[in-house]
Chain A
Amino acid sequence: MSEQTPSSTSSNAPVTGSARVKRGMAEMLKGGVIMDVVTPEQAKIAEDAGAVAVMALERVPADIRAQGGVSRMSDPDMIDGIINTVSIPVMAKARIGHFVEAQVLQSLGVDYVDESEVLTPADFENHIDKWAFTVPFVCGATNLGEALRRINEGAAMIRSKGEAGTGDVSNATTHMRKIRQEIRRLTSLPEDELYVAAKELQAPYELVKEVAATGKLPVVLFTAGGIATPADAAMMMQLGAEGVFVGSGIFKSGNPAQRAAAIVKATTFYDDPDVIAKVSRGLGEAMVGINVDDIPVPHRLAERGW
């Protein structure tokens, strides 16, 4: 989307909110862990453990799943409380398509907005026009076409959806493998087959062509949804994730501080089983979890978003 990037020669004035500045922020989070928190105290634990950012939300996905009801953007007081407690970046979730929640989050000074399927969607056709914002957005995807549609709308970072609030990593695995497989397939196609590939992916041709040429998404790709252990995080990194979101997995476990620090270490040393073994010892209870197969399809969060 180079046409969206302000030209460096047209003016000397500093430019905020450019695609490069938005995507660049996600580059700085790579190799790191972003943790869901619902209170300033949890945010402090996450920062102490070495999180690269925290995600402020009203309820972690496991509680949203258990309690039901409509799930929305968090209370601004709670987000302010977290912003004032930690010095690392603070992200927050807006409902899919709820551009006013996103405007509020930008006004509060959050560093990244997650247009998230974990909250109840506000629009069943349109996602937020993310180009219209200075704050960058991360969006979930289950496959390459979905990722490219979000990037076309202005997303500056993509994460796998997985199935949030389950502690079951299987869907995150499926989504990460799928996205990477579809990227590999594009790189092997002759140029004259990319038009049909774009049609099949339901994604813009220009982005399809870019992915085919570079072999990667034009933005950073993280994993999310069901990661509960250091080994889960390391597996997702080995499958090609550039960093990890952990939602319910930390604060629904027996010893959040220790588990959080262990997942941070396992993410950096994702290819070193000795380190992963060492940090996995004595962590206490992992979150109990739900098998994704036991959740009826209409209740699966990954189905939200289009």
Chain B
Amino acid sequence: MIIGVLALQGDVREHLNALAECDVVARPVRRPEELDSVDALVIPGGESTTMSKLAIEFGVLEPLRKRVAGGMPVYGSCAGMIMLATDVVDGRPDQQTLAGIDMVVRRNAFGRQVDSFEGPVEIAGIDGGPFHAVFIRAPWVESVAADVEVLGRVTEGPAAGRIVAVRQRNLLATAFHPELTGDLRVHRFFVEMARAAETTEG
């Protein structure tokens, strides 16, 4: 099992390290041919408008969309969640996404950097107690289609109740950054998803 990390911009290294600790081969992906060689993909945190622009200019956006439509497992954190959404509120007019998860995501929803925070999130399907989540100029999910599973919401503070973790088919997204905390449960959950997908694809 080889899992790629989209390496156009963002905290690529942290995801590569987290995946390596989950005992999978992890490698950066910047080009279409590199995408061909991976079984699953992580889209890291970073600046979603920059990633979108580079993905278009270096010809990886369309191949990515095809792989997502074809069932490749993808996990996106923060900017990665935005990249996976069908609709983005407060994005740039020219911003493109992979339109993988039927959801509306609001960019920078929690505010500016002075509003960035860490706090607990309960995630359905992940045991071991609340996840200590780090939100950095993070998006939230405004609304989801009926077949999107809501896995986690903010539990405390002014944004309590906001959706911050979702899954649809082989696609997983969180508004927060498990790669910054050393807690591997979200990455392990995704690796299990990817392994299960590999088995069904045969």
- Residues from 219 to 266 in A contacting B, C-beta threshold 8 Å: 264-265
B142 at interface, CB cutoff 8 A: no
B189 at interface, CB cutoff 8 A: no
Please give, as numbers and ranges, the residues of chain A lying within 8 Å of B47 by CB-CB distance. 28-29, 32, 52-53, 88-89
In the complex, which of the residues B11, B116, B156 contacts A21, with contact meaning CB atoms closer than 8 Å? Answer: B116
A210 at interface, CB cutoff 8 A: no
B153 at interface, CB cutoff 8 A: no
A165 at interface, CB cutoff 8 A: no
Q: For B9, B57, B78, B116, which residue has the most chain A Cβ atoms within 10 angstroms?
A: B116
Instruction: Given the known inter-chain contacts A13-B156, A16-B114, A24-B177, please indicate yes or no for A31 contacting B134, CB distance below 8 A.
Output: no
Q: Is the CB of B113 within 8 A of A30?
A: no
Please give, as numbers and ranges, the residues of chain A lying within 8 Å of B90 by CB-CB distance. 87
Instruction: Given the known inter-chain contacts A24-B136, A109-B114, A112-B113, please indicate yes or no for A31 contacting B8, CB distance below 8 A.
Output: yes
Please give, as numbers and ranges, the residues of chain A lying within 8 Å of B8 by CB-CB distance. 31, 268
Please give, as numbers and ranges, the residues of chain A lying within 8 Å of B12 by CB-CB distance. 30-31
Bound CA–CA A21/B112 (angstroms): 12
Q: In the complex, how many residue pairs between chain A and chain B have their CB atoms under 8 Å apart?
A: 131
Nearest B residue to A220 by beta-carbon distance? B11
Bound CA–CA A108/B119 (angstroms): 25
Please give, as numbers and ranges, the residues of chain A lying within 8 Å of B14 by CB-CB distance. 27
Interface string of A12-56 (1 = CB under 8 A from B): 111111101100110111111000000000000001001111000
Interchain nearest-CB distance for B200 vs A (Å): 34
B86 at interface, CB cutoff 8 A: no
Please give, as numbers and ranges, the residues of chain B lying within 8 Å of A87 by CB-CB distance. 49, 90-92, 107-108
Interchain nearest-CB distance for A250 vs B (Å): 15
B40 at interface, CB cutoff 8 A: no
Interchain nearest-CB distance for A170 vs B (Å): 27
Bound CA–CA A6/B120 (angstroms): 13
Interchain nearest-CB distance for B114 vs A (Å): 5
In the complex, which of the residues B46, B113, B117 contacts A136, with contact meaning CB atoms closer than 8 Å? Answer: B113
Nearest A residue to B49 by beta-carbon distance? A88
Please give, as numbers and ranges, the residues of chain A lying within 8 Å of B117 by CB-CB distance. 14-16, 21
Q: Is the CB of B118 within 8 A of A18?
A: yes
Bound CA–CA A264/B55 (angstroms): 12
Please give, as numbers and ranges, the residues of chain A lying within 8 Å of B137 by CB-CB distance. 25, 28, 89, 111
Instruction: Given the known inter-chain contacts A28-B46, A87-B107, A111-B113, please indicate yes or no for A14 contacting B156, CB distance below 8 A.
Output: yes
Instruction: Given the known inter-chain contacts A15-B117, A21-B117, please indicate yes or no for A28 contacting B156, CB distance below 8 A.
Output: no
Instruction: Given the known inter-chain contacts A12-B155, A21-B134, A25-B136, please indicate yes or no for A50 contacting B49, CB distance below 8 A.
Output: yes
Q: Is the CB of A14 within 8 A of B118?
A: yes
The 6 closest A-B pairs by CB, nearest first: A14-B119, A111-B113, A14-B157, A14-B117, A52-B47, A27-B11
Given contacts A8-B118, A32-B47, A268-B54, 10 further A-B contacts (CB under 8 A): A13-B156, A20-B118, A20-B180, A21-B116, A21-B136, A28-B136, A31-B9, A32-B9, A89-B112, A106-B114
Contacts from A to B (Cβ < 8 Å): 6, 8, 12-18, 20-21, 24-25, 27-32, 47, 50-53, 87-89, 106, 109-112, 134-136, 264-265, 268-269
| A–B Cβ pairs within 8 angstroms, 20 of them | A12-B119, A14-B118, A16-B114, A20-B180, A21-B116, A21-B136, A25-B137, A30-B12, A31-B46, A32-B46, A50-B50, A50-B54, A51-B50, A87-B49, A87-B92, A89-B113, A109-B112, A110-B113, A111-B114, A269-B30
